[in-house]
Structures are given as structure tokens and as C-alpha cells.
Amino acid sequence: MKKITAFIGSARRKSTFQAIQEFERDLKQYGEIDFEYVFLSEYRLEFCQGCKVCFDKGEEFCPLKDDRNVLLEKLEHSDGVIFATPNYAFQVSARMKNFFDRFAYLLHRPRFFGKTFTAIVTQGIYGGNNILKYLEKMGENLGFHVTAGSCVSTLEPMNEQQQKKLKQKIRKSSEKFYKGLVRSTPPVPTFFRLMLFRMSRSSIQSLDESYFDYFYYKEKGWFESAYYYDISLRPVKEIAGCFFDLLGRKMGQHK
């Protein structure tokens, strides 16, 4: 049984909810799934105040006391995660953006390796594809294995053709998501992801132990490892990795 959680950035049970319901129906055709809907509007999440305490000292020192950890537990206890949002003025809804801001420390200290991620954007006419890219980038930087999501038009009244298109798009992304869920080997990082890892660790290595990021990387063994998780790299990526380490150290010297 796989546990899937959909985090929803719309306060209504309308288009975004319907798109997720479609996704859930499709997904359940492939295997045993326990599917949970998390409407962000039903949780208390204050706006980030920008104190950076979560980055520097650790997330437990955040001065805001609200439902952040309830949501974190839901992320942690899922095998697969979906971020679903309507397009609001060419971006995710403010609720969803606030959810990301409150978890921005996880971008420094990613932890969702081995979990699969996808995104769904609903919109009237325009702008959603860039939002989808943004959400996929969020998923990757949080450590998830990302499968291609979907951006669907829900402009009302929807005719039969539009309904069909929506169903097709959702079916495709649910199939890819399921394949991601059952895959047995972790994905090999692309050159770009390898570069991000090696360069961020170089910059974190130039900090001292009083910074929580440094402590976290040290504890995880990331200052010595090839990547965030155990993976064997082909020689050309090994060499590229050494080059990225060097580049990261050089850039650190110019600070």
C-alpha cells in the first residue's frame, strides 16, 4: 500500500479538487493507494517573518507556533506527494506560496529522497506552464523524485473536448507518477543536480559548526559523499563532480 498526499492550494472544492480526484481515480487503477487530501486553507500557517532562524539555528527555533509541523509530518509519512494549485495571477496561490516559504529551510536541507512527487496546476487560460515548472523545481530541490505534472485548463463552461483533454493529461501524469512510486532504484542525478549538490556543499563547508546547515551536512556525511544518497556515478560524472567541488571552493574564496 502506498501513501499519497495531495497538498491543495485552493480554498474551494472545485476545479483543482476535481483534477486531483481524477488523478486519484487513475492512480488507484494501478495499485493499492491510500490517498489523502490536505487543503492548506484548513491549517493554520502564519506568514514567514524572515528572521532566518530556521536556516541558521534550526527549524525547531522558529518563533511561529502553528500547524507547520503537522504538515511536515504529512510530507514525511507519504510515499508520494502532489502539490496542486490554481493559477492565481501567473503564480501559485498565496496559500501555497506561504506553505513553501515556511518550508524554505528544507531547500537548504533536503530530505525527501526516495519519495515521488508531481504537480497539478489548474487555470483559466494562460501562465500555468511556468507555474508547473516552478512546482517541479520545488519538488526537485526538496529532494523528491519528480515526475512530469500537468497544467489543465478549467475555463467554464467546459465543453466535451476540454473535458477529454483534461482527462488525458491527468491520466498521463498519474501513470508516470505511479511508475516513479514503484521504481526500485534511486534516480542518477543529472549533471545539473550534481553541480547544485557539490557547489552548495562547498559553500556550506565554508561556514562553521554554529550554522545548522553545516551541522546537518556533517551529520548526513554529505561533505564526503558523492551525492545526497548512495549512488554510483559513471566516471564522466565522477570527474564532473570533482570539477564542481573545485568550482564551489573557488567561488567560496571570492566571498
Ligand X SMILES: Cc1cc2nc3c(=O)[nH]c(=O)nc-3n(C[C@H](O)[C@H](O)[C@H](O)COP(=O)(O)O)c2cc1C
Pick 12 or 52: Cβ nearer ligand X: 12
Binding to ligand X by residue 124, rule CB under 6 A? yes
Binding to ligand X by residue 126, rule CB under 6 A? yes
> 64-103: which residues touch ligand X (CB under 6 A)?
86-90
Residues 212 and 56 sit within 8 Å (Cβ to Cβ): yes
Binding to ligand X by residue 61, rule CB under 6 A? no
Other CB atoms within 10 Å distance of the CB of residue 179: 12
Residues 4 and 36 sit within 8 Å (Cβ to Cβ): yes
CB of 175: closest distance to ligand X in angstroms? 23
CB of 84: closest distance to ligand X in angstroms? 8
Exactly one of 10, 173, 202, 205 binds ligand X (CB under 6 A); that residue is 10
Pick 49 or 129: Cβ nearer ligand X: 129
Pick 71 or 152: Cβ nearer ligand X: 152
Pick 11 or 104: Cβ nearer ligand X: 11
Half-sphere CA count of 225, side-chain side, radius 13 A:
15
Which of 183, 199, 191, 192 has its CA nearest to residue 250?
199
> 145-174: which residues touch ligand X (CB under 6 A)?
154
Pick 155 or 242: Cβ nearer ligand X: 155
Residues 106 and 134 sit within 8 Å (Cβ to Cβ): no
CB of 155: closest distance to ligand X in angstroms? 7
Which stretches of the chain bind ligand X, using CB under 6 A?
10, 12, 14-16, 86-90, 122-127, 154
